[in-house]
Amino acid sequence: MRGKLRVVVMTQADRFFIPRNIDKAAQVCELLEVVQVDCKSALESKTKDYLKWFGPWQCAKMGFVTAGREAEKYLDRLAGYRLFGGSCSVQDAAKKNGIPYRIINDSNDPAYVRHIRDLNPDLIISYSAPQVIKDELLSVPKYGVINVHGALLPDYRGLLPSFWYLYKGEKEGGATVHYMSAKIDDGDIIEQGSVDISDCNSMFRLMKKTKTIGGDLMVKAIEEIEAGTVQTRKNETEKGSYFTWPTVEQAREFRKKGKKLI
């Protein structure tokens, strides 16, 4: 049964994982809008970096898979979302569920903040939104802004946790839903779950696992917020680890270890 919480989704372009998580959220709350943030720090803007990190062959494989997914998207549209359920893009996930969709370039633009004030959501949820959200926007929703991060916080805060999990040879990964602050992957933890990644040698396979569990955890968090049963714990960032984009040398080591993009 869908709840009454009025929610805005903020995310970035994605064809594989996030659309399904939007669909999950749409079953438990009233989604007012799906907002795709296209900016320099979004993964789709990192094509040149991916070539440096993973090389032409891995990027070509990713390109082939992406092209196939694009074809599936158009077939899905022609079939009224009966083939893939609107899971081939963020826009299609929104359209399939009858949710307004928009693209912005700056999460903290005053015009966008005014727009969110006018919508007056109870909650904003972030699926890999690619910008730090500042206090002015964080303060708008009644219940704040929550984010799902593809790692077990406070460890692996920051960028591209799927890369760093494999680089460090971890056997266990997971996802965390936490309240957002103006600092990266900061704020109290609401829900957290682990998943076995010992069989993962590619970022794509690992992300499929962590983003799937992340979507389920977000549903739990939304339901707890509406029911008033949230029990948080401190995100002890001073005890955890933080990673940024990898260097070319680190990416070379990643490949030498037999790890892949896809």
d(CA 94, CA 180) in angstroms, rounded, equals 23
Residue 64's pLDDT is 96
What's the predicted TM-score (pTM) here?
Answer: 0.94
Residue 3's pLDDT is 82
Residues in the chain: 262
Residue 40's pLDDT is 83
Output b/e per residue, 77-108; b: 16+ Cβ within 10 A. beeebeebebbbbbbbbbbbbebebeebeebb
Listed as ranges, residues in the chain with pLDDT below 50 are none
d(CA 76, CA 88) in angstroms, rounded, equals 8
Residue 1's pLDDT is 64
Query: Could you give all domains of the chain from N- to C-terminal order, each with its CATH number?
Result: 6-256 (3.40.50.170)
Residue 42's pLDDT is 80
| Residues 164/210, Cβ–Cβ less than 8 Å | no
Q: Mutual orientation of helices 203-227 and 18-26 as an angle, nearest 10°? A: 20
Residue 124 CB: number of other CB atoms within 10 A?
27
3-state secondary structure the chain: CCCCCEEEEEECCCCCCHHHHHHHHHCCCEEEEEEEECCCCCHHHCHHHHHHHHHHHHHHHHHHHHHHHHHHHHHHHHCCCCCCCCCCCHHHHHHHCCCCEEEECCCCCHHHHHHHHHHCCCEEEEECCCCCCCHHHHCCCCCCEEEEECCCCCCCEECCHHHHHHHCCCCEEEEEEEECCCCCCCCCEEEEEEEECCCCCEHHHHHHHHHHHHHHHHHHHHHHHHHCCCCCECCCHHHCCEECCCCHHHHHHHHHCCCECC
> What would the two tokens of residue 27 be?
């079953």
Question: Each residue of 7-47: pLDDT tens digit?
Answer: 999 999 999 999 999 999 999 999 999 999 998 878 888 88
- In the chain, the N- to C-terminal Cα span, in Å, equals 37
Q: What Rg do the C-alpha atoms of the chain give, in angstroms?
A: 18
